[in-house]
Structure 1
């Protein structure tokens, strides 16, 4: 007998809730200790920020880490430190959050969108190379959902063309490529600590690097242009106050202690869910090969084929899956270049050439992902048990059975 879908009043397949963030009295006590100390600011009130920066750098295997107010600013710091000038081009993927590209606009540079790999939804190395011009100065790669980009190919391209590589690792805390933490492979790695992220303090960001000069510049930009050894009211670079607070820092230090175990759990659940969903016609998990030694699964993504679900649209399928209790989302509605910001060239900056026209951009893989293919399961759900992954797959099968029964 056909099961009634939850969206139509039937029982949910998944009854469990998946809380986020996860915390206990350690976090509460750490923040309370800072509040009671009366030393809340940075850098003149205590050393909690510096302590966390050192912890995170060690965790990532990098030489330096510099905190800042969010993951958008961290990209801006990285771009400026990498030496981009007004009018320079920066290659970016179109399937990502807006700030990967808008940070380029904020630096008076030109985002150049190149398409993604249809099997990973990460920026395609071949598309990168074909987009390079004499004005190209940097590449921002996004390890989307926590799945590592093809960093060997990308770093080879960057070396041959003398380009900087910025890793947008906002989804990739603790993820690895060939055993190396993401964010530590390019010139700069950028992370977000926004409330949905795998490592969070509600807001915040950080950049990591092994380069002494890049570190000095990003540290200065984060701290109103001051330089190490300089006077408080001496300002050498066009920075701003992008510092985080002591309360955020101690919260992050506590949360960092949880990250390795949480990432291992997400990674194991993701591999298991791949097996389960691969057996369902019309559902294809994104490809991860042997180079992906750890996936952070900030987003678990699968490709949806409506033809195996009675022609049910991706939007309706995602709504049904959510109603069954699976924490999921239908993904971005369209690639970044179709956002009004780019279609209308509402840039408020002076260095974008008049001949730049985002209305003519066409990245077919990204457009297909947005329109009909990509469905996301959110990171907190990936912290469940194996039986939860089984329930997620059962929810997909339940919807498929209902749709086929209606034909």
Structure 2
């Protein structure tokens, strides 16, 4: 199989215990384990609210949807976002037919506050910040911009499970934070996510929106006494976005080792750093000061990136690219040529293999091949 970019590791015995409990109880859907996972996630992160979802994409959509609905945002109003992300970030804005204003990225591949300021107009309603690879970048400055202009801050924390900034969860300063527990994330399930609103009212609306707009979910109705527990109202045109207990059980098991797993990911990154820090032609994308990153990604910037990808593949190493500048896609081409650094980095960055099954020998082999390629190109 060679050395893959991502290979998830599951706490199999603990996962099976959690799943078995769901099967024995006869409750595999919304409620029971989803509630338990939400409580454990709040304890772990410090968020006051947490709602378990079928995906982080659903969460990003709900964040935009609920704010648009609550504050009367119009379809020609704008949200500032990054072109350096997975498309689900920007799809969440497009789902609600709002305008995406792309701001450029900095050396951390996160939104550059200077570029963000240039994109603010009287129609700007929010900033959607992506903590790429688990990095906080200049999030602190973005928070200040949101305060200054009275903008909502939505944090796409898909890569940030376990990231801390100055000792606390970065999302505590956002209006809404969305995490991903997709199959290859740091806290892997099969696919799921968590949405954490700061405002309890928004959390309450969200819970109805994820269950088709119904004001009583099946778990609440099951535990309710009285002849009318079956009777509910439909308050919103909602979605089927909630998570289920089987997947929540996997999440509970995986959360138990998240900090330990992230510590090993940081060790792998240190091994790469030691090999690359003195090598001309390899530039590492560093972690911002004050950030203890989850290290979902290890990214380098390099000349002849596509040729290096081919060379590594020939040597049974399978890296990735995070990400292609979204303005290169037809539907987001309106932002093309506005974000020079993002466009340039999109052609130069590569994510090297980073997962819990790597050994020091594996990391050295990957590093050897990267350095070998760089040296050949320098002397050719």
**TM norm. shorter chain > 0.5:** yes
Matches within 5 A, 1:7-406: 19-43=7-31, 47-83=32-68, 84-117=73-106, 119-227=107-215, 232-292=231-291, 294-304=292-302, 306=303, 313-332=304-323, 334-343=324-333, 358=334, 361-371=337-347, 373-380=348-355, 384-404=358-378
CA contact (8 A) 1:303 1:374 kept: yes
Q: List alignment gaps of at least 5 residues for structure 2.
A: 222-228
CA distance in 2, matches of 1:15, 1:201: 22
CA contact (8 A) 1:52 1:250 kept: yes
Count of matched residue positions in the alignment of Structure 1 and Structure 2: 365
Instruction: Indicate the SS of the match to 1:167.
Output: strand
CA contact (8 A) 2:7 2:357 kept: no
Q: Deviations over 1:288-312 (max 9, x none)?
A: 24221x11121111111x2xxxxxx
Question: Given the two structures, how large is their TM-score scaled by the length of structure 1?
Answer: 0.83
Offset of 1:204 from its aligned partner?
1.0
Offset of 1:404 from its aligned partner?
4.9
CA contact (8 A) 1:174 1:182 kept: no
Offset of 1:252 from its aligned partner?
0.6
CA distance in 2, matches of 1:134, 1:181: 31
CA contact (8 A) 2:108 2:288 kept: no
CA distance in 2, matches of 1:94, 1:173: 22
CA contact (8 A) 2:78 2:124 kept: yes
CA distance in 1, matches of 2:205, 2:11: 34
Offset of 1:170 from its aligned partner?
0.5
CA contact (8 A) 1:315 1:330 kept: no
Instruction: Indicate the SS of the match to 2:76.
Output: coil
Q: List alignment gaps of at least 5 residues for structure 1.
A: 1-11, 307-312, 344-357
Instruction: Indicate the SS of the match to 2:178.
Output: strand
CA contact (8 A) 1:66 1:208 kept: yes
CA distance in 2, matches of 1:197, 1:16: 14
Offset of 1:365 from its aligned partner?
0.7
CA contact (8 A) 2:7 2:184 kept: no
Offset of 1:283 from its aligned partner?
0.4
Offset of 1:238 from its aligned partner?
2.7
RMSD: 2.4
CA distance in 1, matches of 2:89, 2:6: 28
Question: Given the two structures, how large is their TM-score scaled by the length of structure 2?
Answer: 0.89
CA distance in 2, matches of 1:247, 1:265: 27
CA distance in 1, matches of 2:296, 2:273: 15
Per mean C-alpha deviation after superposition, the further-off stretch among 185-194 and 231-240 is 231-240
